[in-house]
Structure 1
Amino acid sequence: MRAMLDKLLKRLVVQGEFDVIWPDGTASHYAGAPGPSATIAIRDPAIIRRLALEPGMAFGECYMDETLTPVDCSIYDVLHVLLASVELVEKRIPMLRLQAAVHRMARPLVQMNTARKARRNVAHHYDLNGRLYSLFLDRDRQYSCGYFPRGDETLDEAQAAKKRHIAAKLLLDRPDLTVLDIGCGWGGMALTLARDYGARVTGITLSAEQLTEARSRAQAEGLADRVRFELLDYRAMDQQFDRIVSVGMFEHVGLPNYPAFFETIKRCLKPDGVTLLHAIGRFDGPAATSTWLAKYIFPGGYSPALSEVFAPLERSGLRSTDIEILRLHYAKTLAHWRKRFAANRDTIASLYDERFCRMFEFYLAGSELAFRVQDHMVFQIQLARKQDAAPLTRDYMIDAERASRRQTA
C-alpha cells in the first residue's frame, strides 16, 4: 500500500513541495511548481492503506489520532500543499474523480434533512459548550463570514461591517418593520437590527444552546420587547414579515430541501417585502461536502454552486433583485478564528481534550484554504416577491451603509 500512496502523491503534488517520513524512518520528496511546503510523519504503518484508499477522510482522522503529524510545520501548511494541488488535478486523477462522483450521487440521501434530522445535525455542532465559541469568535459571536471593505479590519470591525452591509440590503427604511431571522445563531444580527434600525425581529434556531444565550442577551440589552427568539424549524413558520434575513444557515438546508426553503420564504414574506440570503457557495459547479467535514463538523451540510440554487429559486416565483459575491472575505475571517483558537487552545483543551482541539484545527485550517486556494466563496442574494419592492439602483444600499457607519463611528 505504500507504493499506492506514493503513486498518488506523485500525481497529486503539482504545486509546492511535500515530504513524507514513513514509519520505518525513510523519507520521500514530492514537488511541483513553486509553492508552499510541508512535511508529515506517518507514525503507524497500519494507516497507509487508509491514506491511499480514502484520503479525504483518513488525513483528518489520522491527524486527530496523531498517527499522522506535521513536522516543523502546522496542519495549515500541510493542507495548503495538498488542497492547492487537489484544486488543480482532482479531475485528472481517476481515483479522486471516482470518489467525487460517488459522493455526489449520495447527496440526496446524505442531505435529506427532515425536521428531526436537521435538529440533530444542528445539535452536533452548535450545542457544544457555549464558552468554546466565545474563545475564538468576535464579541457578538458572529459565526459567519465577516466583511473587509479595507482589508485590514479587526475581526470585530469586520463583523460589524458585515451586519451593516446586510442591513443596508434589507432596506430598513422605516421603524417597526417586522423581520424574520432564519438561523439566528446567538442573536447578534437580530439584536443589531432591533437596536440600531428599529426593527421588530423574530429569530428562529434549532440550537437549544443558542436559544438560551440569545434570549439572555435580549433581556440583558433591554430588547425583549422588540426581539423574540424561538426554537423552530423554518418550515414550521406560519407568519408573514416585512423583511427576512438568513445568514450562514442555508448551508444546512440540504439540496433536496431547497424548494421547501424558498417556498417558505415566499409564504412568509409580505407582498412588498425584501429578503437577504447570505450563504457559502462554490465557483466550480456542483460537488459534495468533504466526508470528514460531514462526519465531524457539519452533518447534512453542503455549500452549493449557484446553478444549484437558482433552479429551485426560479420555480418558487421569487425575484432575484440583487446578487453579490464575496470572495476572500471568509478566508480572512477564518484566519482570525484560527489565530484566536490557537491563543486560547489550552483553555479549549480543558473544556474538551487534545483530540477535539486537533479536530477543530483541521476544520478551521481546511475551511480557510477552501476559500483561499479552492473554489469556495460567499454569495448574498436579495429576493422579493415584486420587482419594484426595492429601488432600481444600488445607491440606497451604499447610502444606508455609509450613514450607519457614521452613526456608529
Structure 2
Amino acid sequence: MLEKTFYKMMLSKSFPFPVKVTYWDGKSEVYGNGTPDIEIIFNEKIPMSDITRNASLALGEGYMDKKIEIKGDIQKLICGAYDSANSFMRSSKFRKFLPKQKHTEEQSEEDVQSHYDIGNDFYKLWLDPTLTYSCAYFEDDNKDDLEKAQIAKVHHILNKLHPHEGKTLLDIGCGWGTLMLTAAKEYGLKVTGVTLSEEQFKFVQKRIYDENLQDVAEVKLEDYRELGDQQWDYITSVGMFEHVGSENLSEYFHDIYRYLKQDGVALIHGITRQQGGATNAWINKYIFPGGYIPGLQEIIGDIVENDLQITDVEMLRRHYQRTLEIWDENFNNARDEVEKMMGERFTRMWDMYLQACAASFESGNIDIVQYLMTKGPSGKDLPMTRKYMLHK
C-alpha cells in the first residue's frame, strides 16, 4: 500500500497532460484532466527504494525487462516529464550523479568499443547511407531527408574552418569517415582520422583504398592523446568530448591546442547542458559507458584556460531532436531485423534511448553546440562576417 501511494505521488503531478496508469494489481487511474493518449502499465512493482536511489536506472531497466510497458508516444511522455514544473524527473533530489569514472586510455578504448563495435551491420539498419552518427543539419526541415542533412552538416563544419587547399586536417573521433574523406575529396585537404573503434577503423581504411585516397588520407586506430608532436592546420571533433569525462576535459582541449599549428582553426561539435554538467546512470550502464555531458560554462572555461580563442558558438538543439526522431523512425522500420540480430531486450533499450534523447533535446534538457576556435587571435585568418559559413 505504501509503495502504491509513492507511485501515485510520483506520477500524479509529473506530466502537463493526462496520462493513464495501470498498476500491477490491474487497477487503473487517470492523472490529469482530459482523455489520455498515453498509458503507462506496471506489469511488476519496482521497489520505491530502487527508484529513489536512481530513477533513470530503475525505470530504464524496468522498461527493458517489460516490467513497464508504455502505450503511446514515449518521446512525448519523457518530454512532458521534463517540462512539468512538478515532475519527479525535474526534482534535484532524484538527479543522481555517478562517481568519478576512469578515463585511462585502456578504459576509453573499452568504452568506445562497447558502443561503436556493436557491428556496422546494426548501424546500417537505421543510419543514413553516409553512416553519420551525429547531429544532422537541416537547411530546409520540410524538404531535407536525413542523408542530405548529414552531408549539409559536414559542409557546415568544413566551411566554418575556411580551409585552404593543400593544408592538413585532423579529425578526432572520425566515425565512419564521411567528414574526413569529404574534406580530402572536395576541399583538397590532407586528412588524418583517429578512432578507437576497430569496426570504424577497418571501414574507413577500406574506403580510403577503394577510393584511391592513400596519398591524402590516413586513419589511425589510436588514442588521440598519443599522436606525438605532429600539428595540423585544422582540427574537427564531432560527438567526441562527451566520452572523455569531466576530469579529462581540460586535457582534451589542451591536446587540441598542442595539435593545432599557430593560427590554426578547430571546430568542436558536441552535446552540452546549459544547466551544468551531468551523467545518466541508465545511459552510462547500457549505452555510453563513461559518458559525461559537460555544462556550457565548463566547456567555455576549459577552452579559454587552454589558450584557445572562441570565434563562434552555434546551438543546434532542434537539429539533433529532428535527427533522433528520424533515427528512431528508421530503427522501428527495421525493428524486426534489429530484434533478430540483437534480441528483444536490446531492441527495447535502444528504442527507449533514441526517444529519450529526442525528448531531452526537445525539452532543452540538453543541447548540441558547435564551438569554433583558433590558436592565436580570434578569427585572424577568417572572413569578417559569418556569411562565408553558408553551405556552398
**TM-score in terms of structure 1 length:** 0.89
Q: Residue 10 of structure 2 contacts residue 88 of structure 2 at CA under 8 Å; is this kept in 1? A: no
User: Counting helix residues as a fraction of each chain, which structure ranks higher?
Assistant: 1
Deviation, structure 1 residue 390: 2.1
Q: Deviations over 1:29-65 (max 9, x none)?
A: 2227x89841111111355653465321111111111
Letter in 1 for 2:50: R
Superposed counterparts of 1:165-204, under 5 Å = 165-172=156-163, 174-204=164-194
Structure 2: how far apart are the matches of 1:114 and 1:376? 26
Q: Which residue of 2 aligns with 1:62?
A: 62
Letter in 1 for 2:63: Y
Q: Which residue of 2 aligns with 1:361?
A: 351
Structure 1: how far apart are the matches of 2:240 and 2:45? 41
Q: Residue 2 of structure 1 contacts residue 48 of structure 1 at CA under 8 Å; is this kept in 2? A: no
Structure 2: how far apart are the matches of 1:16 and 1:24? 24
Q: Which runs of 5+ in 1 are unaligned?
A: 403-409
Structure 1: how far apart are the matches of 2:155 and 2:196? 25
Q: Which residue of 2 aligns with 1:44?
A: 44
In structure 2, relative to structure 1, the CA distance for the partners of 1:298 and 1:36 (3 Å cut) is farther
Q: Which residue of 1 aligns with 2:389?
A: 397
Deviation, structure 1 residue 145: 0.3
Q: Which residue of 2 aligns with 1:261?
A: 252
Deviation, structure 1 residue 262: 1.0
Deviation, structure 1 residue 255: 1.3
Of all paired residues, the percent bearing the same amino acid is: 35
Letter in 2 for 1:291: A
Structure 2: how far apart are the matches of 1:179 and 1:390? 16
In structure 2, relative to structure 1, the CA distance for the partners of 1:366 and 1:36 (3 Å cut) is farther
Q: Which residue of 2 aligns with 1:327?
A: 317
In structure 2, relative to structure 1, the CA distance for the partners of 1:325 and 1:77 (3 Å cut) is closer
Q: Which residue of 2 aligns with 1:163?
A: 154
Q: Which residue of 2 aligns with 1:97?
A: 92
Letter in 1 for 2:123: Y
1:83 aligns to 2:91 (yes or no): no
* Structure 1 ranges of 4+ moved more than 6 A: none
**TM-score in terms of structure 2 length:** 0.93
Structure 1: how far apart are the matches of 2:153 and 2:89? 38
1:251 aligns to 2:242 (yes or no): yes
Q: Secondary structure of the equivalent of 1:16? A: coil
Q: Residue 37 of structure 1 contacts residue 78 of structure 1 at CA under 8 Å; is this kept in 2? A: no
1:275 aligns to 2:274 (yes or no): no
Q: Which runs of 5+ in 2 are unaligned?
A: none
1:300 aligns to 2:302 (yes or no): no
Structure 1: how far apart are the matches of 2:237 and 2:315? 16
Q: Which residue of 2 aligns with 1:223?
A: 213
Deviation, structure 1 residue 220: 1.4
Q: Which residue of 2 aligns with 1:371?
A: 361
Q: Deviations over 1:126-183 (max 9, x none)?
A: 11021011111111111000001211210001001101100101111x3221100000
In structure 2, relative to structure 1, the CA distance for the partners of 1:149 and 1:35 (3 Å cut) is farther
Q: Secondary structure of the equivalent of 1:20? A: strand
Deviation, structure 1 residue 78: 3.6
Two-structure CA RMSD over aligned residues (Å): 2.0
Deviation, structure 1 residue 75: 3.3
Q: Give the counterpart of 1:340 among 322, 330, 339.
A: 330
Q: Residue 55 of structure 2 contacts residue 94 of structure 2 at CA under 8 Å; is this kept in 1? A: no
Farther-moved stretch of structure 1 (200-209 vs 20-29)? 20-29
Q: Residue 17 of structure 1 contacts residue 81 of structure 1 at CA under 8 Å; is this kept in 2? A: no
Deviation, structure 1 residue 236: 1.0
Deviation, structure 1 residue 224: 2.4
